Amino acid sequence: MTSTLGKLQRVDPRSIWKHEAHDFTPWLVDNIDILGEALGMELEVVDREADVGDFSVDILARDLGRDRLVVIENQLEVTDHSHLGQLITYAAGLEASVVIWVSRDFREEHRQALDWLNRGDGVTTEYFGIVIELLQIDDSKPAVNFRLVASPNNWSRQSKRGPGIDEVSGKRSSYQEFFQSLIDELREKHRFTNAKAGQPQNWYSFSSGTRGFTYGMSFAQSGELRAEVYIDLGDRATNEHVFDKLESQKEALEKEFGEPLRWERLDTRRACRVACYTTGSIEDPAEMQEQHRKWAVERLLRFKKVFGPRLPELAKAVHPAS
């Protein structure tokens, strides 16, 4: 029987990506969801080669589920002191909450340095070390594997149970439990998200796969649940332009969606959104929370089915070179 098994082997990343900045970084920008899946985050690219004083960070992203800025630095060689210093400089200059160092191999002293940074008193920035591996079985195509080697002390527990679940009480705990159940179903049954950790907040955002558009679910202050497509491509005029193009298809979109939608330009804010609502509160009894979760899952899946195929063309029309 063993003769039918293939041989697993590692492939040199340089055989696929000859140049770190010109080859690997663009690939990671286009496949940021693979990195997000390895970390249990919903990552969306904000910028590439973003300026930090006289330097530039490889990738600037956002952790959508927590609305946190993420710095990503790549290295197709063994880790070195220079990149460690750059990471700390970028985190400070951009006030990033998450720092991800991707490398082909980590020196033990650099892994220990990330662990030390994560243990700092009053630390608010999370540091992750990720080894990128290319794995191949016999003559198959190489496959990417991101292997976590350094993370905040409680990250493994957070990814399974939700962050600080033992430390959160009252309404915030109820939000966390609700969203943990929601994202678990969306991830495990529908492959809708990479997220693993519910948060003690009244909202959660999910990647649409198209930069500038997110799907979201929240408990609104008006005693309603809201599911939405959120539009924020960087400036008010662009958002309104895209919103108007979508609204011009209102009749067809609502027919395909299966119910009326609210078209909200949000004139006092930069972003716009298209949403649907139902009555509900986090303080409703458990049996109603179950109905709230089912409602949210169904609407988010509908938004992805109906709006998802239209978003790339809208983004391309606004930013042809992106």
- Residue-wise pLDDT tens digits, 61-78: 999 888 889 999 999 999
The arrangement of secondary structure in 2-153, i.e. its CATH architecture, is 3-Layer(aba) Sandwich (3.40)
- Rounded to the nearest integer, the mean pLDDT of the chain is 88
pLDDT of residue 322: 45
Q: 34: burial class by Cβ within 10 Å (0-12, 13-18, 19+)? A: middle
Q: Which CATH class is domain 202-318?
A: alpha beta
pLDDT of residue 124: 81
pLDDT-based confidence at 2, cuts 50/70/90?
low
Which regions of the chain carry the CATH code 3.30.1460?
Answer: 202-318
pLDDT-based confidence at 122, cuts 50/70/90?
low
Query: What value does the mean pLDDT take over residues 167-178?
Result: 80
Which regions of the chain carry the CATH code 3.40.1350.10?
Answer: 2-153
pLDDT of residue 150: 93
- Look up residue 256 and give its two tokens: 């395909």
* Confidence (pTM): 0.74
Q: Mapping DSSP to helix (H, G, I), strand (E, B) and coil, where does residue 241 land? A: helix
Query: What value does the mean pLDDT take over residues 149-158?
Result: 73
Q: 167: burial class by Cβ within 10 Å (0-12, 13-18, 19+)? A: exposed
